[in-house]
Each structure stands twice: as structure tokens, then as C-alpha cells.
Amino acid sequence: MSIQVLKPKFEIEECLDAVRECLEMGWTGMGFKTVQFEEAWKEYTGHKFAYYLNSNTVGLHLAVQILKMQNGWIDGDEIITTPITFVSTNHAIMYENLHPTFADVDDYLCLDPVSVESRINEKTRAVIFVGYGGRVGQLDKIIEICKKHDLKLILDAAHMSGTCVNGVTPGTWDGVDVTVYSFQAVKNLPTGDSGMICFPDAASDKLVRQLAWLGINKDTYARSNKGTYAWKYDVDYVGYKYNGNAIMAAIALVQLKYLDRDNARRRQIVEMYNKSFANNPKIKIVGAPNHKECSYHIYELIVPDREGLLGKFAENDIYAGVHYRDNIEYSMYRYAEGTCPKARNISEHIITLPMHMWLTDEEVMQIANIVNEYVK
Ligand SMILES: *Cc1c(COP(=O)(O)O)cnc(C)c1O
């Protein structure tokens, strides 16, 4: 059997029962399970507000759009961001005609506070921080910098479902202006595609609900519960169709029950990998400051010959990956060439080892042995 780098594991019978409930009730769109999941997510994370979306990508777009609207930013204003991420993070800035300014990463592969501070100029309006692999990195220092320079802070928490620091969800920290999660198919809390956006205040939460639903000032669920004027609504903005649906939320509600169990298993796998590589001087393990509470969405190593190791794995029917290629290597972000040397070096040497709920301890050791035999 081949081993994939990422592979979701669903509680199939429970998910099917939950989906069946939606089908029997005749409610598969926005509302019902989406509202239940928002409540469950707030309860689980400690966020005060949560709105369910069809992806993290659209959530990042809305985060940038809303902060732009509320703070009077203009086209061409800059947001400092990381080159080591999935392109969604940086596209979100472009959707709103703002400019991604790349800062370099630290040893956790998260934004480096020193580099971030060096990129600030009179056009800088915000920072997008990616909790890479569930790591909190130096988010506390980034928050201080944002406060000092009056910048907004967006947290791309696509990898951070279940991540804590001393029992607290980093997205709820004072100074984080908006947090966006992903429940895409291979993320820690898998659905088909969906996401959650969490603002700390009621006004932004209200606005995001409206913008994600075509700019309409009442949602169908609210309308279905009102009397004869249910059909009547106004449209205040050119909004988008970004809302999540009850089928995905039904799956999410089931998977949420198992998130802590799954993340604990991820940490077990990390321990096994870390122990196997601890004495190999050619391999660099990527640490996490919140190691014991990290969601470890992915497990990555820095190795001298990444391409060779990928080939070695393929020979063994094992599929490793690369998360992520330095975004500055992509045509559209090449304008920043040369600005983030550490990220470029990582981009050339990073490899993502298999990490998911299907892996047995034996497979983890087999993978570790292949690495240690090849990298020496
Ligand atoms: C997966 C991912 C996204 C996009 O999430 P979707 O829900 O697929 O839109 C954004 N940022 C990072 C870092 C991701 O890993």
C-alpha cells in the first residue's frame, strides 16, 4: 500500500448520520448545522464570534476587505506577509488591490519579527501571520510590533485548528484583529471545503455575514423564521457568495469531536520522527514554541538533497511533499526576488513527511529509517 503525505480520516458512520439529518430535514444550505457549528467552534476555541464560510481563502479575502473598508485603506497600501505559505494568503491581499510586501521567516518558518519591522513604511497597514504547521512562532512579538506601529494583524490559522498556548487559542489573543481557519479536505479538521472567520467584535461579525451573502442584509435562515415580511430585504454592498453550507458543517461538527484526539496522535508521530532524527547532524528539525499544544498540521525537515530524498521515497511507494515553495518564485510575486534569502533557502531544502491518522507506528519508523539511510 502506498503512503500519502496527507490523507483525511473521517468518522464515516457518524458523518453520514449527520448528513442524513440535513437531507431529511431538507436543509442543506446556510443555516441549521452551520449555526450549530459556529456555536460549537466558539465554545471550543474561546472566540467570541465565528462565521462559517466555504473556505479559508474567501475568509482571508473578507478579512482584508473589511479591514480596508473600516480603516480607509486605499489601493496600493501594503500588507506585510510571508513567502512560506499557500498562495491563498497572498492572493487575499491582491484581491483588494493592496500590495504584498514579503518579510523573511524565522526558525519556526513563521514571520520573523526583526524582518517584519524592517519592512514597515508609511504605506504599511497590516501584517498577515501564518501559524505555519500549527506553530505559534513569535506571534507575541509580531503583536507588539503591530501595536507599536498601529498596524492591523490578520492570523491565517489554516493549520491551527486545536493549537493552544497555555490552554488559550492564539487567535483570541488581544491584538489579533481577525483569525481565519481552514477545514479543507486535508486539514486537521477535514470537511470537503470550508472555513471559519472569527472577528473579536460584533460589528465586524455582522459585516462579514452580510458581505459573504451578496451584501444582503438578512440571511435566508433569518428570513425563513420571520413572518409575512420574510421576503423583504435590502442590499447594501456588492457582496460575494462565500457562505458555508449545512452538509459541510454536519461533517465538521462530527470531526470537531475528534480534533483533540487526532491532534494528540499527530504529536505522537512528531515525537517519533523527532527522536529518530535527533542524532542526525545533516537533518534540521523544525521546532515549535508551543510543542506540547501544537496542532502539527504538517511535519517538515530541512535536508541537503531534498529532490533525492523525494525520489527515494517514491521508489518505496511513499509520497512526501513540499510545503511550501517560496511564493516569490511564482511569476506574479517575482517582483520581490532577493528580499527573503532565508525563505528561499528553506524553499530549496524543505520536505514534508507523511503525517495523518492512517499512519501506523511501523510506517512512521519505516519513513524515518528511509530518511536516515539516505541523509548521512
Ligand atoms: C490550506 C491553506 C489555505 C487555504 O485554505 P482553503 O480552505 O483551502 O481555502 C490558506 N493558507 C494556508 C497556510 C493553507 O495551508
Query: How much distance in Å is there from the Cα of 59 to the middle of ligand 1?
Result: 10
* Strand pairing report for 78-81 and 124-130: parallel
Record the cell numbers describing residue 44, joined without a space.
471550543
Residues with CB under 6 A from ligand 1: 55-57, 85-86, 88-89, 130, 156, 158-159, 182, 184, 195
Nearest residue (by CA) to ligand 1, atom 1, is 158
| 234 Rama class: left (phi>0) / alpha (psi -120 to 50) / beta | beta
> Ligand 1: which of 156, 326, 327 to mutate, most ligand atoms within 8 Å of CB?
156
Record the cell numbers describing residue 360, joined without a space.
501506523
Mapping DSSP onto H, E and C, the string for the chain reads CCECCCCCCCCHHHHHHHHHHHHHHCCCCCCCHHHHHHHHHHHHHCCCCCEEECCHHHHHHHHHHHHHHHHCCCCCCEEEECCCCCCHHHHHHHHCCCEEEECCECCCCCECHHHHHHCCCCCEEEEEEECHHHCCCCHHHHHHHHHHCCCEEEEEECCCCCCCECCECHHHCCCCCEEEEECCCCCCCCCCCCEEEECCCHHHHHHHHHHCECCECCCHHHHHCCCCCCCCCCECCCCCECECCHHHHHHHHHHHHCHHHHHHHHHHHHHHHHHHHCCCCCCEECCCCCHHHCCCCCEEEECCCHHHHHHHHHHCCECCECCCCCHHHCHHHHHHCCCCHHHHHHHHHEEEECCCCCCCHHHHHHHHHHHHHHCC
> Ligand 1: which of 52, 55, 61, 88 to mutate, most ligand atoms within 8 Å of CB?
88
Query: How much distance in Å is there from the Cα of 250 to the middle of ligand 1?
Result: 20
Record the cell numbers describing residue 313, joined without a space.
521515497
Structure confidence at residue 1 (pLDDT): 81
Nearest in space to 215 (alpha carbons), one of 241, 185, 187: 241
What gap in Å lies between CA 375 and CA 1, rounded to an integer? 24
Structure confidence at residue 164 (pLDDT): 98
Structure confidence at residue 219 (pLDDT): 66
Structure confidence at residue 225 (pLDDT): 61
Query: How much distance in Å is there from the Cα of 73 to the middle of ligand 1?
Result: 25
| Distance, CA of 72 to chain centre | 26
Residue with the three cell numbers 450549530: 36
Residue with the three cell numbers 506574479: 332
CB-based contacts of 304, cutoff 8 Å, min separation 6 = 282, 349, 375
The half-sphere exposure of 6 on its side-chain side, counting CA atoms within 13 A, is 19
- Averages of pLDDT over runs of 10 residues in the chain (376 residues) are 95 98 97 97 98 98 98 98 98 98 98 98 98 98 98 99 98 98 98 98 97 86 63 89 98 98 98 98 97 98 98 97 97 98 98 98 98 97
Structure confidence at residue 231 (pLDDT): 72
Query: How much distance in Å is there from the Cα of 60 to the middle of ligand 1?
Result: 9
Query: For the whole prediction, is pTM greater than 0.85?
Result: yes
Domains of the chain: 12-256 (3.40.640.10), 259-374 (3.90.1150.10)
Query: How much distance in Å is there from the Cα of 182 to the middle of ligand 1?
Result: 6
Structure confidence at residue 228 (pLDDT): 62
> Ligand 1: which of 53, 56, 58, 300 to mutate, most ligand atoms within 8 Å of CB?
56
What gap in Å lies between CA 300 and CA 286, rounded to an integer? 7
